[in-house]
Amino acid sequence: MARHTSFQVGGPAEAFVTPATVSDLSMLISGLNAREIPYRILGGGTNLIVRDNGIPGVVIRLQQCCRGISIESSNSAQTALTAMSGENLQKLCVFAMRRGFQGLNFALGIPGTVGGAIRMNAGTALGWISDVLESVVVLDPSGRMNTIPRADLRVAYRSMAFPDTCNAPGNVIISGRFVLKAGDACAVKSEARKILQQRRHRQPTTLPSAGCIFKNPPTGKTAGELIDLAGLKGYKVGGAETSLKHANFIVNTGRATASDILMIMAQVRRIVYEKFQVSLEPEVIIEGE
């Protein structure tokens, strides 16, 4: 799985499948479900730590079967876009930016896929996916497609859950429909350049990482500020290191293992709690044995 995660760590998947079409995906999901074979959906692998012993069951990659962006409707005030879940989030952002559609610039520089961004309600201080999401198409384990409107989704900080009626384990996001405001293309592009410059200035972008490791506490200082104040910038275990540029990033300096990263996370959580009585909650997903 080191080949399929932005951290470049992780042991093997028991099986790794890339369906060619949505129909193939539907047959695969329903077949696995009927046989009670566990599976997980892999987005861009950018918010994921796979343990060194790997992942049991089947890992399904959607980048081939769920690709594409289309304009569904447009008028002088707004445009509705549909983006498939396996599409690159940055491609969607650039698609909107070049046409002067406002609402997605906040996501520029956030790695991963559209489906992953929806599942994690990706965002920054400038905005969230839930701000522009109108509905989601979901494939359930029986092979049926369901459209869930934004109003029925349970939206929270760094998470988005389906309603109880559609919340069966194993649901797969197929696409999202986004509503963006009409804007001036030059102004949207200028804003985009500033956002990308700020991101490059504040965050480590030259070494493998999974973005922010911990969620920000609901009140008080950010996770990065707490880690910095705890004196943990540059803290190293093996080939992993807490970034000197942004304390809430752990980077792979070359030969890190998942165990190195998880050990840093455990130490950071312990020390921050001892110093500030704040329990940091991981933002990354941890998978495997």
Phi, psi for residue 159 in degrees, rounded to 5: -160, 155
Judge contact between 5 and 45, C-beta under 8 A: yes
Q: Supply the DSSP string of 260-284, one letter for each residue.
A: HHHHHHHHHHHHHHHHH---PPB-S
Phi, psi for residue 189 in degrees, rounded to 5: -65, -40
Going by C-alpha positions, the residue among 235, 240, 234, 282 that lies closest to residue 257 is 240
Going by C-alpha positions, the residue among 253, 229, 254 that lies closest to residue 242 is 253
Please give the radius of gyration of the chain, using alpha carbons only, rounded to the nearest integer. 19
Judge contact between 235 and 265, C-beta under 8 A: no
Judge contact between 163 and 154, C-beta under 8 A: yes
State how far the Cα of 171 lies from the Cα of 259, in Å rounded to an integer: 29
* Active centre residues (catalytic): 158, 212, 283
